[in-house]
């Protein structure tokens, strides 16, 4: 078992802890969080905040995973880990369906019962959450988050740090830019440019944004 430190102690981190235990490859040595809800989360000790990273690295811990839901924050912490020469593993729940031709990059996460299809890409620190489907040739950008139950048809592209709310459906070949937010239950049937917040069926930009 490879020792692993997890950054984060919130709801997302709790799901990651259970996923790591189910996958069986890593031994969680502790969590780092500046304001944890308690000093133990699902039995894992909180060791301090990010300030503990240097000591952990010096003591031979080489693997770390960022379990923070906020996309921009996750990216910032992941960059710091990379600078400190930590390895960010790709994690996947054993019940996930990952095509042998799909590509996953450092720090990416595939939750329970999610599907990553043929020649799909899950870029660095991106999240494919519980039961979400990213079908063939989908490209999920760095630090994006596809929430539970989303359905992305073939060839969809999602840019860096974009967030697709729970149950979003996306038509084939659609391009969603970077830093986009799509509201829960939306149906995306036309391209969305960078920075847009969109809701509804069909998805339209939110008023005043």
Should residue 177 be labelled a site residue for ligand ACO when binding is judged by CB under 6 A? Answer: no
The C-alpha atoms of residue 39 and residue 82 are separated, in whole angstroms, by 26
The two counts, helices (H) then strands (E), for the chain are 3, 24
The C-alpha atoms of residue 174 and residue 206 are separated, in whole angstroms, by 19
Segment interacting with ligand ACO, rule: CB under 6 A, options 17-25, 89-97, 118-126, 177-185: 177-185
- Closest approach, Cβ 168 to ligand ACO, in A, equals 8
Select from 121, 126, 43 the least CA-distant residue to 91: 126
Out of 10, 48, 154, 183, which residue is the one contacting ligand ACO (CB under 6 A)? 183
Give one DSSP letter per residue of 165-189, joined into a string: -TT-EE-TT-EE-TT-EE-TT-EE-
Should residue 185 be labelled a site residue for ligand ACO when binding is judged by CB under 6 A? Answer: yes
Residues 142-171 interacting with ligand ACO (rule: CB under 6 A): 147-148, 165-166
- Closest approach, Cβ 83 to ligand ACO, in A, equals 28
136 included as an active-site residue:
yes
Phi, psi of 54 (to 5 degrees): -60, -45
Question: 84 or 201: whose CB is closer to ligand ACO?
Answer: 201
Phi, psi of 18 (to 5 degrees): -65, -35
- Closest approach, Cβ 184 to ligand ACO, in A, equals 4
Strand, helix or coil at 137? coil
Binding residue positions for substrate: 69
Question: 107 or 165: whose CB is closer to ligand ACO?
Answer: 165
Should residue 3 be labelled a site residue for ligand ACO when binding is judged by CB under 6 A? Answer: no
Question: Which residue has 């990553």 as its token pair?
Answer: 116
Cis previous bond, 202, omega within 30: yes
Segment interacting with ligand ACO, rule: CB under 6 A, options 76-84, 134-142, 153-161, 182-190: 182-190
Question: 56 or 111: whose CB is closer to ligand ACO?
Answer: 111
The C-alpha atoms of residue 23 and residue 94 are separated, in whole angstroms, by 6
In the chain, the N- to C-terminal Cα span, in Å, equals: 48
Binding residue positions: 69, 145
Segment interacting with ligand ACO, rule: CB under 6 A, options 78-86, 118-126, 151-159, 183-191: 183-191
The residues carrying an active-site annotation are 136
**Residues in the site for ligand ACO, rule: CB under 6 A?**
129, 147-148, 165-166, 181, 183-185, 199-200
């Amino acid at each position: 078992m490879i020792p692993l430190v997890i950054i984060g102690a919130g709801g997302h981190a709790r799901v990651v802890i259970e996923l790591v235990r189910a996958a069986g490859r890593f031994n969680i040595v502790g969590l780092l969080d500046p304001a944890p809800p308690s000093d133990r989360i699902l039995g894992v000790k909180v060791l301090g905040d990010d300030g503990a990273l240097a000591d952990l690295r010096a003591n031979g811990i080489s693997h770390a995973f960022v379990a923070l839901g906020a996309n921009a924050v996750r990216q910032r912490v992941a960059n710091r880990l990379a600078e400190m020469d930590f390895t960010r593993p790709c994690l996947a729940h054993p019940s996930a369906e990952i095509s042998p031709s799909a590509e996953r990059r450092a720090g990416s996460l595939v939750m329970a019962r999610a599907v990553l299809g043929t020649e799909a890409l899950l870029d660095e620190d991106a999240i494919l959450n519980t039961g979400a489907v990213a079908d063939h040739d989908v490209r999920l950008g760095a630090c994006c988050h596809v929430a539970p139950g989303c359905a992305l048809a073939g060839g969809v592209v999602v840019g860096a740090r974009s967030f697709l709310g729970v149950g979003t459906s996306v038509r084939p070949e659609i391009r969603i830019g970077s830093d986009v937010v799509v509201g829960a239950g939306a149906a995306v049937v036309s391209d969305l440019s960078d920075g847009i917040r969109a809701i509804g069926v069909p998805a339209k930009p939110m008023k005043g944004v």
